[in-house]
Amino acid sequence: KSNNIDLIIGTQLVAKGHHFPFLTLVGVIDADFGLGVTDMRATEKTYQLLHQVSGRAGREKRQGEVILLTHMPEHPVLQAIVSGERDLFYEEEAIMRENQSLPPFTRMISLIISSRDKNKVTMASKKLLINSFPPKDITLLGPIEAPIARIRGRYRMRFLLKGPKNNKIQVFVKQWIAKIKIEHDVKITVDVDPYNFL
């Protein structure tokens, strides 16, 4: 607020709710970095972050400038940020998700199987797979190693399920898990409509 700082260098945290009244220039290196992540919400998250950080420049009636360094200047997310056409981004994102049967047009469930013993995770995942008979309108993917394969000493594998936007998929998952006898220390975490796929 006293305008004693000439340069701020930071991570994504700079975009989150800070007010820099004298900030007039924001530069983002690798603005397209988040678009290369295997997450169906990568475009949404990248748009949100770039929109937030862009909003830091030019407050308090000062002219602001934003410079985005990218390898994909034609990407719809970057085009929406540059043009300021948020509604166009939302429309294109909704069309893409509907065409690919992704939420909010379908329901997704993530199952994470975890244990301190990697073999127990593998065995529990195999048991689940062998005993999985989803209805035709439910797609089952996996098991695969979770993108973050180990957290706090627990190994992790993941299933993803996609189905109609009703409770049919939850009923299936509940019945499916109930059929399996899992070993002690094996934990199954069910996340309905997950926001994070890590």
Question: Is residue 53 very low, low, confident or very high in pLDDT (cuts 50, 70, 90)?
Answer: confident
Could you give the residue ranges of the DSSP H alpha helices within the chain?
42-54, 76-83, 86-99, 118-130, 168-178
Q: Band of the pLDDT at 168, cuts 50, 70, 90?
A: very high
Q: Which of 71, 99, 127 is the last residue of a domain?
A: 99
Task: Please give the tally of structural domains in the chain.
Answer: 2
Q: How many residues does the chain have?
A: 198
- Residues 157, 173: Cα–Cα separation, whole Å: 16
Q: Say if 3 falls within a structural domain.
A: no
Confidence of residue 1 (pLDDT cuts 50, 70, 90): low
DSSP state of 29: T
113-129 pLDDT, tens digit per residue, is 999 999 999 999 999 99
Residue 133 shares a structural domain with residue 176: yes
pLDDT at residue 13, as a whole number: 67
6 in a domain, yes or no? no
Average pLDDT over residues 133-149: 93
Q: Which domain holds residue 60?
A: 12-99
Mark whether 134 and 72 lie in a shared domain.
no
Same domain, yes or no: 93 and 111: no
Domain membership of residue 5 (yes or no) is no
